[in-house]
Amino acid sequence: MVDDSSISGFYKLSRDDRVKKLKEMTKLSDEVLGPLVDPGKVDMSILDHMIENVVGAMTLPLGIATNFLINKKDYLIPMAIEEPSVVAAASNAARMARVHGGFVATDTGPNMIAQIQVVEVPSPEEAKAKVMEAKEDLLAFANEQDPILVRFGGGARDLRVRVFDSKVGVMLVTELIVDTRDAMGANAVNTMAEALAPRIEKITGGRVILRILSNLAEFRLVRVRAVFDKEMLGGEEVVNDIIAAWAFAEADPYRCATHNKGIMNGIDAVVIATGNDFRAIEAGAHSFAAMNGYGSLTKYEKSPEGHLVGSIEIPMAVGLVGGATKVHPTARACVKILGVETALELGHVIASVGLAQNLAALRALASEGIQKGHMALHARNVAVTAGARGDLVDMIAEQLVKEKIVKVERAKELLEEMRK
């Protein structure tokens, strides 16, 4: 936990100085931060056991987003992403929310859904009623599969049955709702679903095929709201245009795909940094956004004072125990930097970043456009590609932007001239 995440000019520091500041603020040891600061220090034997046929590792830049105040707690937020502008944009948006108390987050609890698909059911409606009659027994049996989860306060909580038509006839789907606490929960719920399957077959008289979690985690939602300052955003007209930009996304799926992609820029970056399953989060986000016709994950309106009130509601199936989060040394360091105690708290942070990211994108799009900022950052990449290092990177990038020729060839020429 940090005292104050609003570090001014963090981006202006050298990388070494940023690391120094990070250590100072988080009070984390060199041992913890080592693999994050120097990916060469990651023990390859750990990665070798994570997946199959390992030959190496893929490193992404990892930046720290600043200014985040969430439920009155300050966070420095690690973000792993290849795209320029994302970390800066999130930090900037968080600054505009901070003056109005930051982000306020709540959740539905960490409840995952597991599905048991039954086909060839002789009388599906009767079978549905019978499964529901056996609910308490089925839940108790599901909980016997995971006494540790139950001991930690989680476990199977509820059951529902859906009957619908399909290309292969009527299907009965039993859905188990499980509180998975600090685990993402895939293993827990899949084990329960597999264990319940024979009982479901017996009750329904049908045949079970799939037994697997659903990534449409509609009972594992996080909701976040924040007030973004009107003046900091650029005035009333910008506020109105941001609302119009959001309305565009709500009205048009072509725009909405890009709008929600911008949200996921921030979300995935934190999900990846913390070793969580970003495909699960992506699947959950877009399927949730499509529940009533594809729409925006965020909403915007004006406060009586004319400030912009933003909110997001999104499934957030992330964990802190089990999986890569506990195993990967960089993910472990990221969790420590965040200082989150529970998976729900991590979900609050991630959804807040999603809202901040979306606001920043809409503000840029509704005012100066995103290319100006993007080009400035892209120019730095071009300068590095051309061989520039240290101070030369910014000097060359500035010149490229000034000349409006952001090309490696030109960067190489400039580099030669400057070296002379």
Under DSSP, is residue 105 helix (H, G, I), strand (E, B) or coil? strand
Q: Which of 268, 313 has the CB closer to ligand MEV?
A: 268
Record the tokens describing residue 291, joined without a space: 């529940």
- Let me know how long the chain is: 420
Closer to ligand MEV by Cβ: residue 29 or 258: 258
Q: In sequence order, which ranges of 311-342 are alpha helices (DSSP H)?
A: 324-327, 329-338
Q: What are phi and psi of 155, to 5 degrees?
A: 130, 175
Order of strands, edge to edge, in the sheet holding 73-80? 73-80, 62-70, 103-107, 221-228, 308-315, 298-302
Query: Residue 181 Cβ, how far from ligand MEV at the closest point, in Å?
Result: 33
Tell me which residue of 11, 7, 141 sits closest to 84, measured CA to CA. 11
Task: Give me the residue label for tokens 């900037």.
Answer: 92
Cβ contacts of 33 within 8 Å, gap of 6 or more = 19, 22, 23, 26, 333
Minimum Å gap between C-beta 227 and ligand MEV is: 20
- Shortest spacing between CB 267 and ligand MEV, in angstroms: 12
Q: Which amino acid is at 40?
A: G
21 CB neighbour count, 10 Å cutoff: 15
Residue 10 vs 246, nearer CB to ligand MEV: 246
Whether 374 is catalytic is: yes
Q: What angle in degrees, to the nearest 10, is found between the helix axes of 86-98 and 343-366? A: 100
Residues 6+ apart with CB under 8 A from 371: none
Query: Whose Cβ is closer to ligand MEV: residue 99's or residue 370's?
Result: 370
Q: Which is nearer to ligand MEV, 157 or 261 (CB)?
A: 261
The one catalytic residue in 261, 326, 336, 412 is: 261
> Which residues make up the interface to ligand MEV (CB under 6 A)?
83, 258-259, 261-262, 265, 361, 365, 370
Given a contact cutoff of 8 angstroms between Cβ atoms, the answer to whether 311 and 223 are in contact is yes
How far is 347 from 317, CA to CA, in rounded Å? 8
What's the min distance (Å) between Cβ of 255 and ligand MEV? 8
Give CA–CA dist 47/54, Å, rounded.
Answer: 7
Q: Would you call 307 a catalytic residue per the annotation?
A: no
221-228 and 103-107 strand pairing: antiparallel
Per-residue tokens: 261: 């992609």
Instruction: State the catalytic residue, choosing from 74, 107, 146, 277.
Output: 277
In angstroms, what is the minimal distance from the CB of 86 to ligand MEV? 7
Q: What is the DSSP letter of 11?
A: G
CA distance 413 to 235: 42
**Read out DSSP for 23-41?**
HHHH---HHHHHHHH-GGG
Neighbours of 51 (CB within 10 A): 8
Nearer to ligand MEV, 109 or 373 (CB): 373
328 is catalytic: no
Q: Which two tokens stand for residue 41?
A: 């220090």
Q: Is 83 a catalytic residue?
A: yes
Going by the DSSP 8-state scheme, the letter that residue 156 receives in this structure is E
**Shortest distance, CB of residue 83 to ligand MEV, whole angstroms?**
6
Which one, 157 or 299, has the nearer CB to ligand MEV? 299
Nearer to ligand MEV, 69 or 361 (CB): 361
User: Exposed, middle or buried: residue 157 (CB in 10 Å: 0-12, 13-18, 19+)?
Assistant: middle
Looking at the annotation, which residues are catalytic?
Answer: 83, 261, 277, 374
